[in-house]
Amino acid sequence: MTDISDILEKAKAEGRNYLLEPEAKEIIVRYGIPITKIKVGGDLDEVLKYAEEIGYPVVLKIVSPDIIHKSDIGGVKINLKNKAEVEKAYKEIISATKRFKPDARIVGVLVQEFVPQGTEIIIGVSKDPQFGPTIMFGLGGIFVEILEDVSFRIVPITKRDAKEMISEIKGYKVLTGARGKEPCDIEAIINALLCVSKLAWEHQEIKELDLNPIEVYSKGLKVVDARIVLEG
C-alpha cells in the first residue's frame, strides 16, 4: 500500500475535504502516474524563480481551497513565454481570485511546465452507494461533456478490464490514429487506469477523483489537472 497519509492528514488538520491540485498530483505521482513538472510559489519572486527552473513556456494556476474550478474565475494562465508575461499573469490571477472571493485563502501560485497538446482523456473515480468506488474513462472535452462517451468499471480492475474500458468507448478510433494522426500510447493509458484503480481501492476515503485533462502522446502521457475530494 502506498503511503499518502501525510497529505491526507494535513488536509484533515486544516478542516478540508478538498485536496489542492499540488496535493492531488503528489498522490498520483506516488502511484506511478506522470504529471507536469510543478512548484508552488508563495510570492511573485518565488514564482519567477520557479518559472526559470522549470523553463519557459509555463502555466500559472491559483492554489486556494476556496477555488475549485480555477479557469472559471480567471485563475489559470497558459503558455507564458517570459518573465514579463509571468509577472503580468501572476498579478491578474491574484486580482481575479480576490474579485471572485475577497477573503479567499491563497496558498500560492502553482507554476508548471506548459505541455504540448496531445489527445485529451479523462479518468475519474466516484463512489457508487452499492458497489463502492467505480472508475471512469473517457476522451476529454466535448466527448465527455456532450456525448457522454465514457466507460465504467467497479474497482479494482484487471489489465483486461482496463483494455476493454479503452476500446469500448465510441471514440476509440481517436486514440488509434484516425485521420493520419499518430496513435496514442495505449499502454500508458492502461497503466494510468490500473494505478488509479489501485489508489481508489487502497484509499476508500477518496470520495471523488478527477484527472481532467490528461494529455496522451504517441509515447507517454501527462496529467495536467487533478482534483480529489475526501469523505467527510
Rule CB under 5 A: which residues touch Mg ion?
212, 225
- Shortest Cβ 141–Mg ion spacing (Å): 11
- Shortest Cβ 79–Mg ion spacing (Å): 16
Q: Which does 69 bind (CB under 5 to 8 A by kind): Mg ion, ligand ADP, none?
A: ligand ADP
Q: Is residue 189 within the footprint of ligand ADP (CB under 6 A)? A: no
d(CA 153, CA 137): 9
Q: Which does 224 bind (CB under 5 to 8 A by kind): Mg ion, ligand ADP, none?
A: ligand ADP
The one-letter amino acid code at 111 reads V
Minimal CA–CA distance to 64: which of 105, 18, 24, 100? 105
Which of positions 196-215 make contact with ligand ADP (CB under 6 A)? 213
Decide whether 59 or 169 has the Cβ nearer to ligand ADP.
59
Minimal CA–CA distance to 117: which of 172, 61, 184? 184
Decide whether 185 or 225 has the Cβ nearer to ligand ADP.
225
Decide whether 36 or 119 has the Cβ nearer to ligand ADP.
36
Choose which of 19, 28, 36, 97 interacts with ligand ADP (CB under 6 A).
Answer: 36
The per-residue DSSP string of 85-121 comes to HHHHHHHHHHHHHHHH-TT----EEEEEE-PPP-EEE
Angle at 208 between CA 207 and CA 210, to 5 degrees: 160
DSSP, res 166: H
The binding site for ligand ADP (CB under 6 A) comprises 36, 59, 61, 69-72, 76, 78, 112-115, 213, 224-225
